[in-house]
Amino acid sequence: MEKIGFIGLGIMGKPMAKNLIKAGHELVVFDTAEAPAEELVSFGAERGASAADVASKAGKVIITMLPDSKDVRDAVSGPKGILEGCRAGQTVIDMSSISPIVSRELEKELAGRGAEMIDAPVSGGQEKAEQGTLAIMAGGRDIVFEGVKDILACMGATVTLVGEIGAGQITKLVNQIIVGVNISAVAEGMAFARKAGADPRRVFEAIRKGLAGSQCLEDKAPRMFEGRYAPGFRVALHIKDLWNVLETSRAIKGSVPLSAQVIEMMIALANEGHEGLDHAALGLYYEKLNGVGLGEDKA
């Protein structure tokens, strides 16, 4: 197998890179933080000196998994970035969650060097990253996607080509809109139940198999009842994704009023020091708003 380049070894990138090694791939990795890079070296990877160095040492595939649009842009076209080390025939797979507008811009820059690009953001959080069962949504040319699909399958349970470059990021933003609005609706409904004098846990049991049932209800309502807000998916990251929703919406003259409302709730949580909690912490927002506790011990 050819050596894969991997740039970005954070909470998601590190387990994803490890799963590639477990699947038998050789890796050359880079991260600005020492500890995760050294951990991957001890796991069998080669350490690169920069994104450019990773690109020059990698075979046909270079993967990026970074926090936001600026980080990906810096890794691709900044000083000692991928563009300085890549060559014709390579494919950059950006698995970060960023603006689809930026993905399209970077694809053009890479094309100028004869390199291809796939945008392939993920859903599932740290737990599924560790398990290798992420949902991966990709954008790019069919022939390029087919050439890297097996690599992506080492990190995900489902790998779906949605459309041209940027379509993966659009799909991820749709996912984050629906998840954010859904969690806020769960929190609002459970707080309403408590305020009105009903036991939210019993309400949850009564409605979970009906039309109101959802994965968000199943996963997040119990967290709210128990005050169990360890991430999961952090509030700060969901804010970042919803900012990308708002920025993209403005660029296309779209309207996303529910997303705008949810991001305000999440910013309020962040301003109270809760940015590192799971996004189910919207339960805390509604507890404060209504002066109630969602768990039995808070009643």
CA distance 2 to 26: 7
Asked if 146 and 91 count as a contact pair (C-beta separation under 8 A), the reply is no
CATH of 4-163, one of 1.10.3720.10, 3.20.20.60, 3.40.50.720, 3.40.640.10: 3.40.50.720
In what helix (H) or strand (E) does residue 170 lie, and over which residues does it extend?
helix 167-195
**pLDDT at residue 296 in the model:** 64
Opening angle at CA 45, ends 33 and 143, nearest 5 = 100
Whole-angstrom distance, CA of residue 271 vs CA of residue 293:
20
Q: Residue 47's pLDDT is what?
A: 97
Query: Is there a catalytic annotation at residue 70?
Result: no
Q: Do domains 4-163 and 170-298 have the same CATH topology?
A: no
Q: Give the β-pairing of 116-119 and 91-94.
A: parallel
Phi and psi at residue 39, to the nearest 5°: -65, -40
Task: Quote the tokens at residue 104.
Answer: 């399209």
> What is residue 125's predicted lDDT score, i.e. its pLDDT?
83
Query: What distance in Å separates the CA atoms of residue 74 and residue 172, rounded to the nearest whole number?
Result: 21
Structure token digits, residue 85: 């080390």
Domain residue ranges of the chain, discontinuous segments joined by +: 4-163, 170-298
**Can you give the pLDDT at residue 297?**
55
In the chain (299 residues long), the average pLDDT of successive 10-residue segments reads 93 96 97 96 97 98 96 97 97 97 97 97 91 97 97 97 97 96 98 97 97 96 96 91 95 96 98 97 97 75
Catalytic residue among 14, 18, 128, 172: 172
Select from 1.10.1040.10, 3.40.50.720, 3.40.190.10, 2.40.50.140 the CATH code of 170-298.
1.10.1040.10
- Three-state secondary structure call for residue 297: helix
Q: What is the pLDDT of residue 232?
A: 80
What is the per-residue DSSP string for 197-257? T--HHHHHHHHTTSTT--HHHHHHHHHHHHT----SSBHHHHHHHHHHHHHHHHHTT---H
CB of 167 closer than 8 Å to CB of 103: no
Q: What per-residue confidence (pLDDT) applies to 298?
A: 46
